Amino acid sequence: MNNEVQLQAFREQLPALRRFALSLTHNADAANDLVQDCMVRAISNIDKFEMGTNLRSWLFTIMHNIFCDTHRRRQRHGQHLPLEDWQERLPQPAPQPQVIRLREVANSFSLLSADQQALLMMVGVEGHSHEEAAAHFGVAIGTIKSRLSRVRDKLRERRCGLSADREHRSAA
């Protein structure tokens, strides 16, 4: 059979293959994929087709085998679902507690002096060493450590004060 005759014979079977694929998958997209997989396998194995036998039967057998293999593989390994398809259905914690906590930290930070803010940003946020901070501010390392300790204590006191105020308000 020459190539043009083979292609025409395959084209003639497409409507029947689509109907069969749809009856197996019950999904138009999956049926189209199954028809495509069947045609790829059939064309790549055309040398195994025996002339004079039923082409439709041969194609249906290929399609059925592909469907069964895929079904068994899914049962064994589970169906692949892209993360984007199910991630939005996962429960998400309410953002309000983090927003409130962030606002409290920002408020407490804003009540610090400019030097205290700069020191806390340099060492606590940007990760500079005590030596670098001491050189920047022109003071001894011990002074930097002492100032940092006082700033952190002040923030903790404000945090505890805010927590105590919130508890007092909710109890009232």
Which CA distances in Å does 91 have to 16, 84, 159? 45, 14, 29
Q: Average pLDDT of 18-36?
A: 94
Q: Average pLDDT of 94-103?
A: 82
Domain range summary for the chain, segments of one domain joined by +:
3-80, 96-171
And the tokens for 168? 């007092």
pLDDT score of 98: 82
The CATH class, in words, for 3-80 is: mainly alpha
Helix or strand run (H / E) with residue 13: helix 3-25
- pLDDT tier, 32 (very low <50, low <70, confident <90, very high otherwise): very high
- pLDDT tier, 74 (very low <50, low <70, confident <90, very high otherwise): confident
Taking domain 96-171, whether its CATH number is 1.10.520.10 is answered by no
pTM greater than 0.75: no
And the tokens for 99? 């927003």
Name 158's Cβ contacts closer than 8 Å, sequence gap at least 6. Answer: 108, 111
Does residue 49 have a pLDDT over 80?
yes
Please work out, in degrees rounded to the nearest 5, the angle formed at the alpha carbon of residue 146 by the alpha carbons of 144 and 151.
90
Q: Average pLDDT of 93-113?
A: 83
Q: Average pLDDT of 10-27?
A: 93
- pLDDT tier, 125 (very low <50, low <70, confident <90, very high otherwise): confident
Q: Average pLDDT of 54-82?
A: 87
Least confident of 55-59, 65-69, 70-74, 80-84: 80-84
